[in-house]
Structure 1
């Protein structure tokens, strides 16, 4: 199943040049782990690729594919997730925006479970890049994994 989801994500982003380049975004972020994992992870980092279609000038919606890496502390191993989500943005006055990503995060370790991926965010849009503050969370039946993140997003 993971191979099928990865293929679907690559297909969506592979076809994005057909629709134009203005809504293709790449972002990098780093964060402080929170919730059930703050005692086993010291740092979070990741990258996201999104293609958002513009509706009514201030609304953008589209697919997102990401990679999130939690660095283990002390005797704990690192762990990674592959979020596949729907991404939305609402433009606010003065170049601010609010956004929300929701989907599923696939665990890339055999002994870990994936879960519901959610990421509320706020940011400020400059010309071709944005500064983004967010909370990225992954919830499954056992634990809630989260991180308070800060990132930069570039429009390609």
Structure 2
């Protein structure tokens, strides 16, 4: 599966080499964990970077990466053999490598999506990563974007979050 995703990203990069108009954007996001692992993780925090090429006036394609971390909840044990013991597992962190698309509904509203692979950066042997998908809806100007997104990373299980984010365009 990794080979298919990396081949698709390479194919998109070659196809975009002829495109002349594009822009770079960087930003950050934060959100609440939902789904399978919401009992174990409390929040999703991250930074994003993307380059998009304008295919038409309203449609852009590109590549995106960044860093995203799911913050683990702490558990206090007030009973049992270790009263006052606090258990906290490590955070789950990923580096996404994905293709991205964005369609401008109007001059200020857009729909977007990221699809690719999220590389797990935690303790070896616990995960390799998983398929990343992230639909987005947002507001944009010439220099900024504000967006809401659903981010999912799936492998044997699914970790997901509802996020809000901000991007600055160069």
Short-chain TM bin: 0.7 to 0.9
Query: In the TM superposition, what are the counterparts of 1:48-87 in structure 2 within 5 Å?
Result: 48-74=48-74, 75-87=88-100
State the shift of 1:77 in Å. 1.8
Query: Who is 1:105 aligned against?
Result: 118
CA-atom RMSD in angstroms = 2.2
Instruction: Note if 1:153 corresponds to 2:167.
Output: yes
Stretches of structure 2 that go unaligned for 5 or more consecutive residues are 7-12, 14-19, 75-87
TM-score when normalising by structure 2: 0.77
Secondary structure of 1:93's partner?
A: coil
Q: 2:101 aligns with which of 79, 85, 88?
A: 88
Stretches of structure 1 that go unaligned for 5 or more consecutive residues are 6-11, 13-18
8 Å Cα contact 1:122-1:134 kept in structure 2: yes
Secondary structure of 2:37's partner?
A: coil
- In 1, Cα distance between equivalents of 2:118 and 2:55: 26
Which structure is larger by alpha-carbon Rg, 1 or 2? Answer: 2
- In 2, Cα distance between equivalents of 1:63 and 1:24: 10
Residue correspondences, number = 142
Query: In the TM superposition, what are the counterparts of 1:131-150 in structure 2 within 5 Å?
Result: 131-140=146-155, 142-150=156-164
- In 2, Cα distance between equivalents of 1:62 and 1:37: 30
- In 1, Cα distance between equivalents of 2:58 and 2:26: 19
- In 2, Cα distance between equivalents of 1:94 and 1:64: 22
- In 1, Cα distance between equivalents of 2:33 and 2:27: 19
Secondary structure of 2:166's partner?
A: strand
Deviation digits for residues 8-60 of structure 1 (CA, Å, limit 9, x no counterpart) = xxxx9xxxxxx78x500002000001111111111110011100000111111
Q: Post-superposition, which runs of at least 4 consecutive aligned residues in structure 1 deviate over 4 A?
A: none
8 Å Cα contact 1:67-1:81 kept in structure 2: yes
